[in-house]
């Protein structure tokens, strides 16, 4: 059952709720056409790009990308110079982008809810593990690089 408590599962659940809202209960609301499609596409594309850049850094440093496992290296290069959580940021961007593309106006609160769940279930426990494992190096990294953006 541990596989259920993984960020992609939370993302898939939020995406499914947004799609359901857009297709079954649009409530006559809209973001207003073309700009939402463009912004949504850019957010989805940017989110996927962030995730790919982060996974490439994980592979380069030969450490785990699995949230509940302890990393063998503290990655501070590449995209991790700009965000401590680029994969989770990418997830949130994909969710927001799909909500825009689908005109799922009522699903918009899913974005901050998703970020809150990810922060409580994954980010904070991961940072606690890294704080214990990498001590001074993580404290410096935490001061230099923001959690999200």
Asked if the structure places residue 16 within a domain, the reply is no
Q: Note the pLDDT of residue 29.
A: 87
Q: How many domains does the chain have?
A: 1
Q: Note the pLDDT of residue 111.
A: 98
Q: Note the pLDDT of residue 69.
A: 87
Cβ atoms 81, 145 nearer than 8 A = yes
Confidence category of residue 1, pLDDT binned at 50, 70, 90:
low
Asked if the structure places residue 71 within a domain, the reply is yes
Parent domain of 42: 34-144
Asked if the structure places residue 123 within a domain, the reply is yes
Asked if the structure places residue 4 within a domain, the reply is no
pLDDT in tens, 78-119: 999 999 999 999 999 999 999 999 999 999 999 999 999 999
Asked if the structure places residue 27 within a domain, the reply is no
Q: 88 vs 69, which has greater pLDDT? A: 88
pLDDT in tens, 12-68: 999 999 999 999 998 888 998 789 999 999 999 999 999 999 999 999 999 999 988
Asked if the structure places residue 17 within a domain, the reply is no
Cβ atoms 36, 101 nearer than 8 A = yes
Asked if the structure places residue 11 within a domain, the reply is no
DSSP letter string, 19-81: HHHHHH--TT----SHHHHHHHHHHHHHHHHHHHHHHHHHHHTT----TTSPPSS---SGGGG
Confidence category of residue 2, pLDDT binned at 50, 70, 90:
low
Is 148 a residue whose pLDDT tops 90? yes
Asked if the structure places residue 12 within a domain, the reply is no
């Amino acid at each position: 059952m541990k596989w259920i408590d993984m960020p992609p599962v939370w993302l898939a659940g939020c995406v499914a709720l947004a799609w359901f809202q857009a297709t079954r209960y649009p409530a006559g609301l809209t973001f207003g056409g073309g700009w939402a499609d463009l912004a949504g596409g850019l957010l989805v594309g940017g989110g996927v790009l962030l995730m790919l850049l982060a996974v490439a850094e994980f592979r380069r440093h030969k450490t785990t990308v699995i949230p509940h496992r302890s990393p063998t290296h503290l990655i501070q290069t590449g995209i991790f110079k700009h965000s401590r959580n680029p994969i989770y940021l990418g997830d949130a961007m994909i969710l927001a982008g799909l909500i825009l593309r689908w005109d799922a106006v009522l699903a918009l609160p899913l974005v901050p809810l998703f970020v809150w769940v990810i922060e409580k279930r994954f980010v904070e426990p991961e940072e606690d593990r890294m704080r214990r494992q990498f001590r001074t190096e993580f404290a410096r990294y935490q001061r230099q690089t923001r959690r999200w953006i």
